[in-house]
Structure 1
Amino acid sequence: MNPSRTLRLESGQTTKTIYVVGTELRVNLYRCAPLQCKLFSIKCTPTVQFRVEAGAPVNDPDGGSFLSPQVLTKNTVLFISMKAASDLVNDSKLSVRFYGNKLNVLGNAVLHLTAVEISLDVDADRDGIVEKNNPNKASWKWGPNGHGAILLVNCDSESIFNKELDYENEEVTRVSDLKDMSKMILRTRGPAALPEGYKLSLHISKSHAESVRVFRTSGNPQSSTLKYLLLKLFMKDYPLVLNKEHLAGEVPYLGGDSQQELFVEGIRFPDKDFDGLVNINLSLLEPNGQDFPETPIYTDKVLFHVAPWIMTPNTLKPEEVFVCSTSDNEVFLKAIKSLVKSSGYKLKICHEYMNRGDRWMQDEIEFGYTDSPHQKFPVVLDSPRDRGLKDFPYNVLLGPDFGYVTRYPVDERVNSLDSFGNLEVSPPVTVNGKTYPLGRILIGVAFPTTAKGRNMAKVVQDFLWAQKVQEPIALYSDWLDVGHVDEFMTFVPAPDRKGFRLLLASPDSGYKLFKSLQDKGHGNAKLFEGKEEEISVDQLMSDEGLRAENVYVQNCIDWNRDVLKKELGLDEDDIIDLPILFKLDSKQGNRAGAYYPDMVNMLVLGQNLGIPKPFGPQVNGTCALETEMRSLMEPLGLKCTFIDDFASYHKLNGDVHCGSNVRRKPFEHRWWDLEL
């Protein structure tokens, strides 16, 4: 059913209006007839179609453009339509004649019509092309058979001299910036100009205007008229139409068969107070005389969904590895360079003038991306920790086609759990029949019964939940001194089962390994040989206090194990336990840290693993812990490279993963194809 608009006609007067093709004009004839009127007739030009209903359709024996006199009732309604746009203003006509009992003429109501076609269009079918009048352009539906246009947050920076996020500038300063925006096309057809006083206006609600901005071209790029050349000379190429200060803005009617490009810029990601959906409206305004505001007589609507920020798991292909250079990590850095080079990836080193002694690259940032049918680019999420590396993501990473986003708590104190070693994402999983093709985000929090535990800042958690496409899972990590999930778990690729394995730190596996060494006569073999921490296997096994601490740690890890199995749909065969012991620190509230370099805290580069060198007991000239790791990883086709980070990272409460970061290739699966 076509949308209808009520139109008032008056006997003895001529009314002029614009008709929008695809709609109907609805006239209550009884209300506009003279008092003594009993009958009416209708006549129109061939370009106009009409029908009359009076509770039921009225017979039209003559058909075409004339209706012979009919009885007028309180329910008589005239419906008017046109099939094509007008060539000239007021080039179509309809008249209604009113009669008394004896067919005496009481008066005429005359209507002059100008027909126009108007369509505000977006890429509603998500194929990268802005099609005309898609019936689903004003709605959103998830899934491969879904619909709805997609909008990117313009969070990269095209600036060369004064670096800033593109959406912070309310001007389009470089044409290259347009590719990060979503195209919207205003298509019109009709006479060369609208009747005097009529105009087209884009408008948006105040709440949605906080999230988007709209620019337009300054004229018709297909025209070579003097008017367009003057616009190019004296106006900006892409004038601003809508923002949070301007909720409505006029757009020119170009005349004839025309289309005008508009560019929609996202200025914030989905969040707790923003579901990501934005409506933009186009209205045809009709004048009401001097000193009166115009009124809308037709409105077209479109809807956009702002693209989310998406994390990338270890199973995706690396593109670039990031580490810091400090005054004391030369050995570590040399090993990382060798591993990255042999793996065939790029390495970017953040030198000390930029990191200011802060070596924890994993804790400062999390790499992700944003995606649409027309454009995708990486986006770094900057943690609120703000230590020496705080300027690195903005000053170094932000640039053309490399975006930036951050969330910082206002009413909360930043703590260690706000660092992004405490933020991971699983590979794709299926759980109880529900598929998560982009995986699920993992964050560490305090145990549910802990009244004074540390938690990741609420603004960061709210942001992660609002992205929807990687539904987060809360794990218990506050039992750790540093408090990061990457201290007890990671994922590695695998050729079978679900395509990955979950690796968990396991004190139980550690004690089993050391007991096996004792049973084989290697009780005198030493951990940390040649270091001041040197200790024999027998001494380690006889330390009942340490064993009790690790029973507690194993209980904490087992709690997380159960959560991960349930929320990721894992079986025991999907999990590999790594022999890692922990030690509690009474000065840190009896929170735990790895006793020897934490082998689960590794760098995953495809099939190559950069694992902290554990300095385990030497058996026949080989570290028993390294031997065990190889026996667990190599059947999966993974190669283990052990990296000495003992002095430069481990003794500072971190390991290889904490000191590195990886930007990875985005998922091939498109987020809008998810079934949510």
Structure 2
Amino acid sequence: MAPQRVVPLSLRKPTHAVCVVGVEMLVDVHSDVPRGARSFEVAGSSGLEVIVFYDPERAREPTGRFRWPLHAGADVVVSVDRASKDVNDLKVKVSYFGEPESQALGHGVLYLTGVDISLDVDRDRTGQVKRSRGDKKTWHWGPEGYGAILLVNCDRDSLMSRDRDFANSQLGSLADLQDMSPMVLSCHGPDELFDSHKLVLKVPSSDSKRVGVFCARGGNALSDYKQVLGPHNLSYKVERQSGEQEIRFYVEGLTYPDADFSGLVTLSISLVDAGSLPEVSLFTDSVVFRVAPWIMTPNTQPPMDLYVCSVVDINGSNGKFLDDMSYLAMKANCKLIICPRIENRNDRWIQDEMEFGYIEAPHKSFPVVFDSPRNRGLKEFPFKKILGPDFGYVTREILLSGASSLDSFGNLDVSPPVTVGSKEYPLGRILFGSSFPNSGGRRMAKVVRNFLYAQRVQAPVELYSDWLSVGHVDEFLSFVPTSDKKGFRLLLASPRACLKLFQEKREAGYGEAAQFEGLDRVAKRSINEMLADTSLQSDSLYVQKCIDWNREVLKRELGLTEGDIIDVPQLFSLKGPYADAFFPDMVNMVVLGKYLGIPKPYGPIIDGRCCLEEEVRSLLEPLGLHCIFIDDYLFYHELLGEIHCGTNVRRKPFPFKWWHMVP
């Protein structure tokens, strides 16, 4: 280890210094030397390690009385391995000589006080703070990596608070400490030393708005915890009590990684000589944290809660749809949560309003809802009804202009874990829709895109969805879990597959079987009529090209083969430059484990069964999936949405620890 600081010796009076355990100190034996001196001897008291470094080309290690020639430029380095019991209880003596057998021409004496100072965090990611002499200043990814982790304290543990916990400079609940990362300051040494020296905890100005630090003073009352660092406090003189050897701190994240924030924050402790003018920092120990990313969960993760809205419109109440959701949740063994009209203000598109994810550190994990900037009837629901104890909240607002349809979170999805070549994505990859590359169409807002990219652990893929009226990726893709080695299939809406199916049915003699059979107030269209409709054929060809473009991107970016993709029959029609689903969009389904809530397509009835439903069953049920077709026509499809748009699912977090991956 390179010497940290230099202490000069004097022939006239003893020198006093503090030596920190584990830190080498260079003793300057060359600045104040007696006239005629040619060599020196050095001796140290018990508890000190004294080492002389020399250039073997200029000198050789002496024998006998160990006198070192001054002209050889030898350096004396001292270190201590434990804290002193008393001030100045360690001594280094340097004696200077002229001729080899002469008496000493002078002496320099250094009195040392050993002090053990260390700032420690959960560097090894075990959930516990352990004393570390290793590298605490850098953060490394991977299973062999190291570095502490910080949660954004974005839940609300105190029911008396109106905002998230990180907005409060006073602790509102002792439970809130569990959301923070512990940090321990060890300060072993004589009490008298700290009368003239102080310990100063610091955060760089650039990090101060990212992190908050509370100091624990030994009690169980809220008043025993004081915020000492944060946006308005860059340094804190530690209030060390007599005999106190450990001081505990709790650290909270204030913001997620983003375009202007890598996620890394640094804290440091300095031992300062308060008796010198100006004050001198004798030693600094630093630690680094990485703020935990927000992580989405794909359809392949087990469902926990199914959310749906109760609404009333000109068609009446959607009570039958709610009953169907209750049955589906019961089959999937997850909890159904119905958002009442008074809370949703008749906004049924709960998938568009928010996305569920989670954050995790070795000591704690909790779900976090990401509130979209769409700000319609459900605007207040995530903040007022979901934010709470151990349930966090994050949002990104669009300040200069209103949100577009592509900013709704039906346009946000995530793949299951994938491997692309040699690159692994153990938490999957985020997917969201955008305009065609280099075109001037609609895109998801930059503040949202920046946030998603900055999380790093689910490297986003931008797809082309601007060809749709609503413009959401859930209108043409979904993932379903399977029990085979792959673990999932990608479902893509396919006009090609639908037209092929209808042609097969026509050739089998069922050309007069009609689409929309069983629906009142909806014009029936026979298979013959649909296949003869040149406009529908042209629209389908255009839509298929758009989906095929995305198909190639998904294959490339997710490492998929054609065998990993299932084409689900679906027709679209164009209204101006944009496409809408011609009948209920079956890919726009809710996935609850092996139970799929699929929009009822009202396809042509052949031998008493809907041929579209039968086709989908033949594709999915051999994979161990259960297809439950649910009528969403009046309350969702006619309003340009489907079951996935009108539901939302909170899922179990990944068992994989995000810090084990290498982005």
TM-score band, normalised by the shorter chain?
over 0.9
> Quick one: which amino acid aligns to residue 198 of structure 1?
H
- Specify the alignment match of 2:573 in structure 1: 583
Within the alignment, does 1:305 sit opposite 2:290 as a pair? yes
Within the alignment, does 1:635 sit opposite 2:622 as a pair? yes
**Unaligned runs of at least 5 residues, structure 2:** none
Within the alignment, does 1:556 sit opposite 2:546 as a pair? yes
Paired residue secondary structure (1:460): helix
**Alpha-carbon separation, structure 2, partners of 1:53 and 1:628:** 82
What is the CA distance between 1:43 and its match in structure 2? 4.2
Spell out, residue by residue over 1:346-374, the C-alpha distance to the aligned partner (whole angstroms, 9 max, x if none): 01111111101110010000000001110
Decide whether the 8 Å contact of 1:158 with 1:400 is kept in 2. yes
Spell out, residue by residue over 1:25-75, the C-alpha distance to the aligned partner (whole angstroms, 9 max, x if none): 11221113356544444344323332334534774656xxxx765543372
Is the alpha carbon distance of 1:107 and 1:241 closer, same or farther for their aligned partners in structure 2, counting shifts above 3 Å?
farther
What is the CA distance between 1:537 and its match in structure 2? 1.8
- Specify the alignment match of 1:242 in structure 2: 229
Which of 383, 400, 417 aligns to 2:389? It is 400
Identity %: 48
**Alpha-carbon separation, structure 2, partners of 1:76 and 1:12:** 22
> Quick one: which amino acid aligns to residue 566 of structure 2?
I
Within the alignment, does 1:320 sit opposite 2:315 as a pair? no
What is the CA distance between 1:535 and its match in structure 2? 1.9
Which of 340, 344, 358 aligns to 1:369? It is 358
Within the alignment, does 1:455 sit opposite 2:443 as a pair? yes
Decide whether the 8 Å contact of 1:124 with 1:134 is kept in 2. no
- Specify the alignment match of 2:88 in structure 1: 90
- Specify the alignment match of 1:47 in structure 2: 47
Q: Which stretch has the larger CA shift, 248-257 or 651-660?
A: 248-257
**Alpha-carbon separation, structure 1, partners of 2:437 and 2:134:** 48
- Specify the alignment match of 1:72 in structure 2: 70
Q: What count of residue pairs does the alignment treat as equivalent? A: 654
Spell out, residue by residue over 1:495-545, the C-alpha distance to the aligned partner (whole angstroms, 9 max, x if none): 224111100000011111111222222222222223333222222221101
> Quick one: which amino acid aligns to residue 82 of structure 1?
V
- Specify the alignment match of 1:490 in structure 2: 478
**Alpha-carbon separation, structure 1, partners of 2:112 and 2:18:** 6
Is the alpha carbon distance of 1:568 and 1:196 closer, same or farther for their aligned partners in structure 2, counting shifts above 3 Å?
same
Decide whether the 8 Å contact of 1:190 with 1:255 is kept in 2. no
What is the CA distance between 1:255 and its match in structure 2? 5.7
What is the CA distance between 1:403 and its match in structure 2? 0.5
Within the alignment, does 1:296 sit opposite 2:281 as a pair? yes
Structural mapping, 1:473-484, within 5 Å: 473-484=461-472
Which of 523, 540, 548 aligns to 2:530? It is 540
Paired residue secondary structure (2:224): coil
Within the alignment, does 1:531 sit opposite 2:521 as a pair? yes
Paired residue secondary structure (1:626): helix
Is the alpha carbon distance of 1:35 and 1:413 closer, same or farther for their aligned partners in structure 2, counting shifts above 3 Å?
farther
- Specify the alignment match of 2:505 in structure 1: 517
- Specify the alignment match of 1:342 in structure 2: 331
Is the alpha carbon distance of 1:147 and 1:3 closer, same or farther for their aligned partners in structure 2, counting shifts above 3 Å?
farther
What is the CA distance between 1:111 and its match in structure 2? 1.8
**Alpha-carbon separation, structure 2, partners of 1:315 and 1:454:** 29
What is the CA distance between 1:571 and its match in structure 2? 1.0
**Alpha-carbon separation, structure 2, partners of 1:58 and 1:197:** 42
- Specify the alignment match of 2:4 in structure 1: 4
- Specify the alignment match of 1:229 in structure 2: none
What is the CA distance between 1:277 and its match in structure 2? 1.4
**Alpha-carbon separation, structure 2, partners of 1:286 and 1:26:** 18
Decide whether the 8 Å contact of 2:14 with 2:110 is kept in 1. yes
> Quick one: which amino acid aligns to residue 576 of structure 1?
I
What is the CA distance between 1:413 and its match in structure 2? 3.6
- Specify the alignment match of 2:631 in structure 1: 644
Decide whether the 8 Å contact of 1:121 with 1:134 is kept in 2. no
What is the CA distance between 1:384 and its match in structure 2? 0.5
**Alpha-carbon separation, structure 2, partners of 1:80 and 1:119:** 19
Decide whether the 8 Å contact of 1:193 with 1:253 is kept in 2. no
> Quick one: which amino acid aligns to residue 95 of structure 1?
K
Decide whether the 8 Å contact of 2:43 with 2:50 is kept in 1. no
Which of 648, 654, 657 aligns to 1:670? It is 657
What is the CA distance between 1:253 and its match in structure 2? 3.8
- Specify the alignment match of 1:278 in structure 2: 265
**Alpha-carbon separation, structure 2, partners of 1:213 and 1:25:** 34
Decide whether the 8 Å contact of 1:190 with 1:257 is kept in 2. no
Decide whether the 8 Å contact of 2:3 with 2:26 is kept in 1. no
What is the CA distance between 1:449 and its match in structure 2? 3.5
Q: Which stretch has the larger CA shift, 326-335 or 263-272?
A: 326-335
Is the alpha carbon distance of 1:36 and 1:603 closer, same or farther for their aligned partners in structure 2, counting shifts above 3 Å?
same
- Specify the alignment match of 2:557 in structure 1: 567
Spell out, residue by residue over 1:558-598, the C-alpha distance to the aligned partner (whole angstroms, 9 max, x if none): 00001111111111111111110001112xxx201101000
Paired residue secondary structure (1:523): coil
Spell out, residue by residue over 1:371-423, the C-alpha distance to the aligned partner (whole angstroms, 9 max, x if none): 11100000011100000001011001101110111112234541000000000
Structural mapping, 1:188-203, within 5 Å: 188-203=187-202
Which of 645, 648, 653 aligns to 2:640? It is 653
Spell out, residue by residue over 1:421-443, the C-alpha distance to the aligned partner (whole angstroms, 9 max, x if none): 00000011111121111111001
Which of 570, 590, 602 aligns to 1:603? It is 590
Spell out, residue by residue over 1:622-646, the C-alpha distance to the aligned partner (whole angstroms, 9 max, x if none): 2111111111111111111111110
**Alpha-carbon separation, structure 1, partners of 2:248 and 2:584:** 58
> Quick one: which amino acid aligns to residue 666 of structure 1?
P
- Specify the alignment match of 1:227 in structure 2: none
Decide whether the 8 Å contact of 1:188 with 1:255 is kept in 2. no
**Alpha-carbon separation, structure 2, partners of 1:255 and 1:132:** 22
TM-score (norm 1): 0.93
What is the root-mean-square deviation in Å for CA atoms of aligned residues? 2.1
Within the alignment, does 1:161 sit opposite 2:160 as a pair? yes
Is the alpha carbon distance of 1:449 and 1:96 closer, same or farther for their aligned partners in structure 2, counting shifts above 3 Å?
closer
What is the CA distance between 1:99 and its match in structure 2? 5.2
> Quick one: which amino acid aligns to residue 354 of structure 1?
E
Paired residue secondary structure (2:252): strand
Paired residue secondary structure (1:13): coil
**Alpha-carbon separation, structure 2, partners of 1:385 and 1:402:** 21
> Quick one: which amino acid aligns to residue 167 of structure 1?
F
Which of 430, 433, 443 aligns to 2:432? It is 443
Paired residue secondary structure (1:73): helix
Q: Which stretch has the larger CA shift, 396-405 or 19-28?
A: 19-28
Which of 406, 419, 437 aligns to 1:417? It is 406
> Quick one: which amino acid aligns to residue 522 of structure 2?
E
What is the CA distance between 1:165 and its match in structure 2? 0.8
Within the alignment, does 1:502 sit opposite 2:490 as a pair? yes
**Alpha-carbon separation, structure 2, partners of 1:562 and 1:71:** 76
**Alpha-carbon separation, structure 2, partners of 1:307 and 1:19:** 36
- Specify the alignment match of 1:228 in structure 2: none
Structural mapping, 1:94-173, within 5 Å: 94-98=92-96, 107-173=106-172
**Alpha-carbon separation, structure 2, partners of 1:480 and 1:437:** 31
- Specify the alignment match of 2:185 in structure 1: 186
What is the CA distance between 1:264 and its match in structure 2? 1.0
Within the alignment, does 1:27 sit opposite 2:4 as a pair? no
> Quick one: which amino acid aligns to residue 416 of structure 2?
P
Is the alpha carbon distance of 1:195 and 1:260 closer, same or farther for their aligned partners in structure 2, counting shifts above 3 Å?
closer
**Alpha-carbon separation, structure 2, partners of 1:521 and 1:60:** 108
What is the CA distance between 1:288 and its match in structure 2? 4.7
Is the alpha carbon distance of 1:163 and 1:533 closer, same or farther for their aligned partners in structure 2, counting shifts above 3 Å?
farther
Decide whether the 8 Å contact of 2:200 with 2:238 is kept in 1. yes
Paired residue secondary structure (1:260): strand
**Alpha-carbon separation, structure 1, partners of 2:499 and 2:191:** 86
- Specify the alignment match of 2:342 in structure 1: 353
Q: Which stretch has the larger CA shift, 498-507 or 14-23?
A: 14-23
- Specify the alignment match of 1:81 in structure 2: 79
